[in-house]
Amino acid sequence: MFGEFDEASIKVVIRNSKGEVMATLSEKIKKPPTMDILELLAAKRAMYFSLEISFTKFVFEGDAESLIKSLKYGGWEKAQGGWEKAQGGHLIKDIFAFVNSFQSISFSHVVRQGNAVTHALAQRARHSFPLTVWMESVPQDVASFVLSDFQFHK
């Protein structure tokens, strides 16, 4: 989240099964009330973006361990039941609504160092358009981070 502004950014990196970057998205949004809500918005946007560009096998990797555990082990039953009243419960329900749209889907925790591309995109988003998408390439100033992330995505 951008502390000095009323904005935050969602970053999505889509990789193929070899770990190669196929598409990236960086989107500015109104700052949500908490980091947890921002992480849920990012997960929902990642799923939608994947479907927009016709990727039907989905592995969501994030460095927010509690979110990943909720999505991985929480299951659709909890999304149907007790989460509606929890903060962000509607987003979890939306995320699980996407599940049947994919041939396969999983959620995986990756250490923060394994998310260098998304963090580089976040820094870039501060000074960019509200929505930026790259297909089969990344900006030159982000390319070096792709290589550093590669070891975490083999």
DSSP secondary structure string for all residues of the chain: -BTTTTEEEEEEEEE-TTS-EEEEEEEEEEPPSSHHHHHHHHHHHHHHHHHHTT--EEEEEES-HHHHHHHHHHHHHHHHTTTTTSTTHHHHHHHHHHGGGSSEEEEEE--GGGGHHHHHHHHHHTTS-SEEEEES---HHHHHHHHHHHTT--
The CATH fold of domain 7-144 = Nucleotidyltransferase; domain 5 (3.30.420)
Query: Residue 103: what pLDDT?
Result: 92
Query: Residue 1: what pLDDT?
Result: 45
Query: Residue 72: what pLDDT?
Result: 78
Query: Residue 118: what pLDDT?
Result: 61
Cα 59 from Cα 56, distance rounded (Å)? 10
Domain locations in the chain as residue ranges = 7-144
Query: Residue 2: what pLDDT?
Result: 43
Per-residue pLDDT of the chain (154 residues; tens, 9 = 90+): 445 668 888 888 888 888 777 888 888 899 999 988 998 999 999 999 999 999 988 888 887 888 888 787 765 455 445 555 567 888 888 888 888 899 988 888 877 555 565 666 556 555 566 777 767 666 666 555 555 555 554 4
User: What's the token pair of residue 71?
Assistant: 């999505």
Pairing mode, if any, of strands 21-30 and 131-135? antiparallel
The size of the chain, in residues, is 154
Cα 109 from Cα 60, distance rounded (Å)? 8
Query: Residue 110: what pLDDT?
Result: 77
